[in-house]
Structure 1
Amino acid sequence: MFEAFWWGALGASALLIGALIAYLLSPGRRVIAAVMALGAGLLIGSVSFELVEEAMKSGRVGWVALFLLLGAAVFAAGDWLLSRRGGGHRKDPSGAQAQGSPLAIVLGSVLDGVPESFVLGLTVLQGGVSLPLLAAVALSNLPEGMSSSSGLKAAGWPRGRVVVMWLVVVAVSGLAASAGYLVLDPAGGLVSALVQAFAAGALLAMLADTMLPEAYAVEGVLTGPVVVAGFAISVALSAI
């Protein structure tokens, strides 16, 4: 369990690194968008090879498809609720967060990070953390930390406040990974497969709702090739 916690916290620590980069180096929006698109491609690969493929081994295709939809619906509902309460612009690098709720921004960031951390805990339970998934989580979290923190900086948030916010998210991500380790059993048959499908649906919804729109708003048609490059990297890592 403790190993899962540290792997989950390690993957989420890229958020904190991204925040420090935003405050110290002020990266451009194109750099942030490119890294975000690459991380999205890596996560799509991890969802395909680490979650859906494993869930399909249960032989219950209909149930797997249903829980994919349920995971997406739960994430979308949470994202919609937090957006109405002031967390809708949590990844905007331009400072739109100034009009939002600090608590909603924090909870939104937690919502984004829980599914991927939960799955990291499962991979530890299966015999060792998945390096492709860990790379995907870290590379998707890095631009999120950069983009969100750039916006919070523009909105006037002091660096210390932002660091504390991301430390909270890192801790929750570690706990989510521990929960994945404790709750999921790789030999658990249908139940384990359905939980994997649910997490996969939530991750795909997160990519579609938050990461890809932010990347496309800056990179335009170049977003597609960069996402596919991330997916190709995930394919290569899965063969290691």
Structure 2
Amino acid sequence: MTVIILACLSVGLLAGFLAGLLGVGGGLVIVPALLAVFKLVGVLPAHQQHLALGTSLATIVFTGIASVRAHHAKGAVRWDVVRRITPGILLGTFAGAQIAGFISTRALQWIFVAFAYFVAAQMLLNWQTKPSRQLPGQAGLLSMGGLIGVLSSWVGIGGGSLSVPFMNACNVPVKTAIATSSAIGVPIAVAGAIGYIVSGWGIAGLPSYSLGFIYIPALIGIVLASFPMAKLGAAAAHRLPVPVLKKIFAALLIILASKMLWGLLP
């Protein structure tokens, strides 16, 4: 147990620092790191990806609230957008977590690998969505929220990689989109965490101290470490060359995704 907690504290330190430094959700780091931890402690392969996704989303509940408070204090959050998109987010994320319970670990890992490569390409090539439309009406926001929720639940993230480009394309300024995305990430995390608790409830072979597909020792270790490191990362963002660091992070994502891909190949 001590080894697990120390390993998860280390994961939280890295994820928290990167979240503060680059404004990226820690899930893209937390999920592959937890997979390594779960393999080390002998979690059954059939449950590893599900536990990593559920635990990652659970950590975002806590770190996301801290991020939202900071953005709200600056008046940067579009709460009207959050209110209109949240019903779709909740339904999509919860449904995605339920569906994930019927998807094999191998298939979920393929989805994660593809998404990690996509985000890495986004950062390396500095893709920017051009403002070409206005925010859709209620039906459109509900549909987009549902789509963002499903995809986020399958890769264990707060959805910023999807919601920020969407809002940018709808003429929402970048800083406002990032702030609003942080608020959208909280219902994604809450619905996803509850969804993975439900889909993992009563599953045989899960490790001790699991709540459905959420591994409590990892959740505690990551959250405790990520809070102070997020503040350090945010402070460092004002002193370090962030565009260069984004490329380094993209390279890290490629390495992590390629390592997972190598394990998936026959």
Q: Normalised by the shorter chain, which TM-score bucket?
A: 0.3 to 0.5
Greater relative CO, 1 or 2 (CA 8 Å, sep 6+): 1
Greater percentage in helix: 1
